Amino acid sequence: EALTGRLPHAGDDPVRDKLRRDPGPPSAVAPGIPVDLDRLCQALLARDPALRPEGPAILDLLCGDSERTLPPRNRTETPLLGRDAELRRITNAMRTVGRGEGQVVLVTGRSGIGKSVMMRHFLARQRRDGAVVLTGRCYEQESVPYKALDAVMDAICQHLAGMSSDEREEVMPRHRWALGRLFPVLAQFSTPATPRSPRDTDPRLPTDSVQEIRQRQTIPVTQPRQESGRHESGRHEPGRHESGPLQLATPVMRFTAGAAISSDPRLVDPGFASRSTVVVGAPTTVDADQEPLSADPARIRRQGVAALRQLLEALARHSPLIIAIDDMQWGDVDSAQVLAEVLAPPQPPLLLLGAYRSEDEITSDFLRHFLPAQPSHDVIELHALEPAAALALASSLVSSPTGAGAAEVAAEAKGDPFLLVELARHVSNRQGPKLSARGLTVEAVVRSRIQQLDPPARRLLEAISVAAGPIARTVARRAADIGAEESTAMVQLRAAHLLRVKGTRGVEVIETYHDRIRDAVIEQLDTGSRRAWHLQLVEAMQAEGHLDHERIGKHLEAGGRPAQAVPHYIEAAEASSRTLAFDRAADLYRRALAIGSFPSEGEVALRNEYAEVLMRQGRFDEAAGELQRARERLGPGVDRARLYHKLGEVELGRGDVPAAAAALENALADLGQPVPRGRSHLLLSNLREIAVQLRHTYFPVRPARPALETERLAMRVYSRLAHAYYFSRGGLQVYWPHLRELNAAERHPPTPELGRAYAGHGRILSVLPWFRRGLTYVDRSLEIQRRLGDRWGEAQALHQQGVVLYAASRFAEAARVSTVAAERLEQMGDAAEAHDALLHAAMAMLQLGRSAEATGISRRVHEEALDTGDMFAAAKGLVLWTLASGGRVASMMIRIQLDIAAQIDQHYSMLLAMLADGLRLLGAQRPGDAAAVLDQADAERRNTGVMSTELLADLDTWRTTAWRRAAEQALDSRARDEALASARRHLRRALWNTARFRNGLPHALREAGRLSALAGHRRRARVLLDSSLSLALKHEQAEQAAMTRLVRGELFGREDPVVAAEARAAREGRCACASLLRLEGDPAP
């Protein structure tokens, strides 16, 4: 105010104005203000407190020596000349962003070619035009997670702080807590200022279903059906566990349509159709703005990335948005992955402006991951300046009456802007005689300038150069051991354009003016001097409390003390894992392991942690290798069993089911519970476990001794082994580990393992098919998990409930429960189970005639499962997508799934992919080819012994359809008769399978009716078709009912007006069975 006569921030809201922008220099208002006061005033008004000078820094700005060594020409930005065409390309991209289209523009060229200068000129102009500019820069030796985005997040934080609370809440995304985990600087905004409605923008979940669920959290899943009686039995109910701590004094009540229904199975009608589903209500609902109690870190990272994208999209709606990142070649893989996901099509309406060295394009980890992920981006390659532009730039920097000095500088620089500037400063040096630029290099110029420095300044420059990145000023001063001489040294280095000073997060940091200056300084140091500097930097960082463990570890390793670096690498890796920077964590664990020299226990623990990080990245092959190496360091026992258990989980994660089964079998062997070998031994073991289960059911005891940790580990291993056997062997081998798990869990007071065992048992019982008992066990599982507070177990139990409801043909309830289960499993971070629950919801929707919804869900799950390596869900999603769309799936996608399944020897995924291929061929009206593929799938199923599931159980029915359609297309009677014989043979097996999987019965009966009609048995055909329609209507299978009506109408419409009318109504609404019309063939001639 004293200098200009007015306050720096004026207007109606000066506080808000202060948060939004830095004031301009006083000289812009009152020309003639002394330069030192002008600079000091502007520095003291900086918004970031860390940038405001204190003590020595103020003296630096006001010191007479400082001003004498800083010529006015050198206190301004180097002019930008000869880059008009490149600037126009960036400006045009910005205009495209203004139209709502995202753009990626990358500036490349060799070091010193002028990339940074051009970016600064462009960004300065955009700031003046009102754009929000978020800038960042990567450093070669910087050791922060997501280092390409670190400074960008600081800028976002500053921008958000300058907004009003209402404006800030308007732009904050869903899952803001995950964004705070990813970038801790944004955690301050992780809690909403005011309550607000949750935003459901996750494309994987059907929006209408989720909204309905959230609006009706305590409304029952379904109305209770009419009860036909009461169950009056005094014996112990299946699934009822007699346990003191968990036994309820009064039955838990479930509210359904205003009436209370007891959860005690003894008070419920034994008919499954009269049962009400448990409430999927509010007690465990997780707000998207609150972090769940337990979640998979990989899932949290994906939610954090999605939240970042939403935040940037919201900011871009308010103002033009630019993200500018310099020196991208030194970015990390984690940053590249996050940026690629944020900019995935459709790109958010912002401009990403980046710069990188062309010479590092091949070797840079960041660029190797980021560039291929950008389907469209503009690369601007900067070349040497044209002679005219170089001469103009030299003339602006060199004071020469004749211009000869400028011409000499321009000629020697050969169009290299950085060398040109350095040569201009060299020949304009006031402290010595005028020097010639002829034959000089950057290194020679820097050496000449260093020689003019005092010893303290030289030592400080060497310390900063060896640090290889921004370093706290206090650390550099201590490492250089210059004490009170620091201020003079800083003045010299800044005046010689060898050093930059900036503030970040409350700390004043310094770095070399340019990377080429740093390289020139380091080249002058011998190996011993470099090692000494590395160790001095470590001592200084520790003394000043700057515990950057990764940086300390690297300095220790470079200083010749690798063993001391290991604990720092491990500490840094753990910190990176906490911020979900998995690639950086993996690199740090790899560094620590490469140094070696661990005790056996330490190496096992380290490889275990390393494998965990690799699993979170989906790098299952490498994780399996690390666990195998860790296993080799252990002998038989519990510790090795734990490793085998984790190895089994890894193998299941990557889809290698046989390897998973082998690892889990080894785990049981180490626990002293080997798997029975041989069919007779397996049969006897199953009979023994069945006897134990019958005793638990009819003669229950009250268990008192809590399960030991080794016993609980065995239960978990049994559970996963049953899962592995289900998808690879089937039959007796599945039941033995499952019953072992169930019986072992029932010997102790309730645990989460018991809840999971009951849920799995309910699912298996539904296949027998014992629906009421299956639902009873699932109910009991829900009760246990809720009492124990195991929210993940509760979500899994809900998923199993949806599966059993689907098997029981209660499709509306199954769709509702499975959708809720999928949302909760996703919130808990269990991606695989969430995928499976969503696919069961899609299956139920398909039965209800909601083909479009089923197609959308199954396609999204398939694509996401492929990305995350969940091969089971990918294959299952592919079959459902093909089925719901009527075969409209590209053959290449099925071929990819087949190749993956063959590569990892995953029989179940192979069978599903073959089924999808057969359905695709049926939709393409190629029934003969479809029949051959489906027959091949059946042969593969017989060879592998894989147990049937709801989808695989329909294989024989679709084989019948394929051969029946092939017979209809046959050109000669012999081929027709052979095809019909094959269809009838497959039909017998299809009808047999419906005894366990009854949802396919309407289709099988329809095929039986069509085959009877082809054989001339019209009366039998009518009975079969009527039965198909009756079942479809009873179970609300809209698509099946419509298709059967069309077939009945074509065969019997002429003689029965009612049938004809029903067929006409079905054809007018043919969208209800459009997919089946393509797959089964239109019955109309």
**Concatenated DSSP letters of 97-158:** HHTT--EEEEEEESTTSSHHHHHHHHHHHHHHTT-EEEEEE--TT--STTTTTHHHHHHHHH
Between 25-39, 430-444, 893-907, 947-961, the lowest mean confidence (pLDDT) is in 430-444
**Can you tell me the distance from the alpha carbon of 720 to that of 664, in angstroms, rounded to the nearest whole number?**
8
pLDDT: which is higher, 535 or 23: 535
Helix or strand (DSSP H, E) at 325 = strand 321-326
Same domain for 93 and 132: yes
The CATH number of the domain holding residue 364 is 3.40.50.300
The predicted model gives 110-132 an average pLDDT of 88
Angle at 887 between CA 883 and CA 889, to 5 degrees: 105
Same domain for 1041 and 964: yes
- In percent, the amount of the chain with pLDDT more than 70 equals 81
Q: Which domain holds residue 429?
A: 387-440
**Can you tell me the distance from the alpha carbon of 422 to that of 427, in angstroms, rounded to the nearest whole number?**
9
- Please indicate, yes or no, if residue 20 is contained in any of the structural domains: no
Same domain for 417 and 376: no
Confidence (pLDDT) at 688: 93
Question: Which 3-state string (H, E, C) describes 754-806?
Answer: HHHHHHHHHHHHHHCCCHHHHHHHHHHHHHHHHHHCCHHHHHHHHHHHHHHHH
Cβ(124)–Cβ(353) below 8 Å: no
Tokens of 701: 């005891």
- Please indicate, yes or no, if residue 336 is contained in any of the structural domains: yes
Same domain for 391 and 376: no
Confidence (pLDDT) at 264: 35
Give residues with Cβ within 8 angstroms of 1034, minimum separation 6: none
Same domain for 402 and 337: no
Between 315-329, 347-361, 940-954, the lowest mean confidence (pLDDT) is in 940-954
Cβ(886)–Cβ(1074) below 8 Å: yes
The predicted model gives 545-551 an average pLDDT of 87
**Can you tell me the distance from the alpha carbon of 152 to that of 133, in angstroms, rounded to the nearest whole number?**
9
Between 35-44, 216-225, 643-652, the lowest mean confidence (pLDDT) is in 216-225
Confidence (pLDDT) at 267: 28
List pLDDT tens digits, range 775-788. 999 999 999 999 99
Same domain for 431 and 371: no
Cβ(366)–Cβ(329) below 8 Å: yes
The CATH number of the domain holding residue 578 is 1.25.40.10
353 beta partners: 105, 324
Confidence (pLDDT) at 828: 74
List pLDDT tens digits, range 163-179. 888 888 889 988 888 88
Cβ(917)–Cβ(881) below 8 Å: no
Confidence (pLDDT) at 1029: 95
Tokens of 590: 């790899």
Q: Shortest CA distance to 888 belongs to which of 923, 860, 839?
A: 923
Confidence (pLDDT) at 714: 93
- Please indicate, yes or no, if residue 594 is contained in any of the structural domains: yes
pTM of the entire predicted model: 0.62
Cβ(818)–Cβ(840) below 8 Å: yes
Hey, is 607 helix, strand or coil?
helix
Strand 471-472 and strand 507-512: pairing? antiparallel
pLDDT: which is higher, 417 or 1002: 1002
Confidence (pLDDT) at 1047: 94
Confidence (pLDDT) at 272: 33
pLDDT higher than threshold 80 for residue 142: no
pLDDT higher than threshold 60 for residue 288: no
Between 64-68, 119-123, 256-260, 613-617, the lowest mean confidence (pLDDT) is in 256-260
- Please indicate, yes or no, if residue 1012 is contained in any of the structural domains: yes
Domain finish residue from 634, 656, 683: 634
Helix or strand (DSSP H, E) at 742 = helix 732-746
- Please indicate, yes or no, if residue 596 is contained in any of the structural domains: yes
pLDDT higher than threshold 60 for residue 211: no
Same domain for 314 and 428: no
Give residues with Cβ within 8 angstroms of 752, minimum separation 6: 784, 785, 788, 790, 793
Same domain for 371 and 328: yes
Confidence (pLDDT) at 77: 56
Confidence (pLDDT) at 63: 47
Give residues with Cβ within 8 angstroms of 1031, minimum separation 6: 1001, 1002, 1005, 1037
Helix or strand (DSSP H, E) at 324 = strand 321-326
The predicted model gives 553-562 an average pLDDT of 92
Half-sphere exposure of 638 (CA within 13 A, CB side): 7
Confidence (pLDDT) at 537: 94
Confidence (pLDDT) at 734: 86
Confidence of residue 200 (pLDDT cuts 50, 70, 90): very low
Domain finish residue from 609, 634, 659: 634
Hey, is 313 helix, strand or coil?
helix
The predicted model gives 661-673 an average pLDDT of 92
Report long-range pairs for 344-349 (Cβ below 8 Å, ≥24 apart). 344/373, 345/375, 346/102, 347/101, 347/102, 347/103, 347/104, 348/102, 348/309, 348/312, 348/313, 348/316, 349/97, 349/100, 349/101, 349/102, 349/313, 349/316, 349/317, 349/321
Confidence (pLDDT) at 392: 83
Number of domains present in the structure of the chain: 4
pLDDT higher than threshold 70 for residue 561: yes
Confidence of residue 353 (pLDDT cuts 50, 70, 90): very high
Q: Shortest CA distance to 930 belongs to which of 987, 984, 870, 983?
A: 983
Tokens of 557: 């390793």
Confidence (pLDDT) at 741: 92
Half-sphere exposure of 222 (CA within 13 A, CB side): 19
- In percent, the amount of the chain with pLDDT more than 90 equals 38
Confidence (pLDDT) at 869: 72
Residues in the chain: 1085
Confidence (pLDDT) at 844: 95
pLDDT: which is higher, 728 or 832: 832
Confidence (pLDDT) at 326: 92
Q: Shortest CA distance to 28 belongs to which of 44, 1, 61, 4?
A: 4
Highest mean pLDDT out of 279-293, 590-604, 969-983: 969-983
List pLDDT tens digits, range 912-937. 999 999 999 999 999 999 999 999 99
- Please indicate, yes or no, if residue 806 is contained in any of the structural domains: no
List pLDDT tens digits, range 839-895. 999 999 999 999 999 999 999 999 888 877 788 899 999 999 999 999 999 999 999
Half-sphere exposure of 382 (CA within 13 A, CB side): 34
Strand 351-357 and strand 103-109: pairing? parallel
Dihedral, CA of residue 55, residue 56, residue 61 and residue 64, to nearest 10: 120
Confidence (pLDDT) at 276: 36
Half-sphere exposure of 621 (CA within 13 A, CB side): 3
Hey, is 729 helix, strand or coil?
coil
Confidence (pLDDT) at 320: 93
Angle at 334 between CA 329 and CA 338, to 5 degrees: 100
The predicted model gives 976-984 an average pLDDT of 95
Confidence (pLDDT) at 235: 39
User: Letter for the amino acid at 202?
Assistant: D
User: Letter for the amino acid at 365?
Assistant: D
Cβ(424)–Cβ(397) below 8 Å: yes
pLDDT: which is higher, 657 or 3: 657
Between 21-30, 667-676, 690-699, 794-803, the lowest mean confidence (pLDDT) is in 21-30
Q: Shortest CA distance to 516 belongs to which of 582, 447, 431?
A: 447
CB atoms within 10 A of CB 306: 20
Confidence of residue 489 (pLDDT cuts 50, 70, 90): confident
Confidence (pLDDT) at 233: 38
Lateral strand order in the sheet of 378-381: 132-137, 321-326, 351-357, 103-109, 378-381
Tokens of 209: 């279903």
Give residues with Cβ within 8 angstroms of 591, minimum separation 6: 553, 557, 565, 569
> 346 preceded by cis ω (within 30°)?
yes
pLDDT higher than threshold 50 for residue 82: yes
Angle at 245 between CA 241 and CA 250, to 5 degrees: 75
Same domain for 391 and 374: no
Helix or strand (DSSP H, E) at 875 = helix 871-884
Residue 10 backbone zone (phi > 0: left; psi -120 to 50: alpha; other: beta):
beta
User: Letter for the amino acid at 57?
Assistant: A
Write the DSSP assignment of 800-863 as a string of letters: HHHHHHHHTT-HHHHHHHHHHHHHHHHHHT-HHHHHHHHHHHHHHHHHTT-HHHHHHHHHHHHH
Hey, is 471 helix, strand or coil?
strand
Residue that has been written with the tokens 């049969």 in this structure: 683
List pLDDT tens digits, range 993-1048. 888 889 999 999 999 999 999 999 999 999 999 999 999 999 999 999 999 999 99
Confidence (pLDDT) at 61: 55
**Can you tell me the distance from the alpha carbon of 298 to that of 873, in angstroms, rounded to the nearest whole number?**
17
Confidence (pLDDT) at 34: 72
CB atoms within 10 A of CB 80: 18
Within 294-441, where are the H helices?
A: 297-318, 333-342, 365-370, 387-397, 404-413, 417-427
- Phi, psi at 288, each rounded to 5°: -65, -20
Cβ(427)–Cβ(434) below 8 Å: yes
Tokens of 539: 């001592």
Confidence (pLDDT) at 207: 38
The predicted model gives 811-824 an average pLDDT of 94
CB atoms within 10 A of CB 127: 13
The predicted model gives 219-237 an average pLDDT of 37
Same domain for 419 and 311: no
Helix, strand, coil percent content, the chain, rounded in steps of 5: 65, 5, 30
CB atoms within 10 A of CB 216: 14
Give residues with Cβ within 8 angstroms of 546, minimum separation 6: 472, 475
- Please indicate, yes or no, if residue 239 is contained in any of the structural domains: no
Same domain for 312 and 189: yes
- Please indicate, yes or no, if residue 655 is contained in any of the structural domains: no
Confidence of residue 9 (pLDDT cuts 50, 70, 90): low
The predicted model gives 960-969 an average pLDDT of 95
**Can you tell me the distance from the alpha carbon of 918 to that of 929, in angstroms, rounded to the nearest whole number?**
8
Confidence of residue 803 (pLDDT cuts 50, 70, 90): very high
| Averaged pLDDT score across all residues of the chain | 80
Same domain for 1045 and 957: yes
The predicted model gives 77-86 an average pLDDT of 78
Between 320-329, 488-497, 723-732, the lowest mean confidence (pLDDT) is in 723-732
**Can you tell me the distance from the alpha carbon of 508 to that of 494, in angstroms, rounded to the nearest whole number?**
15
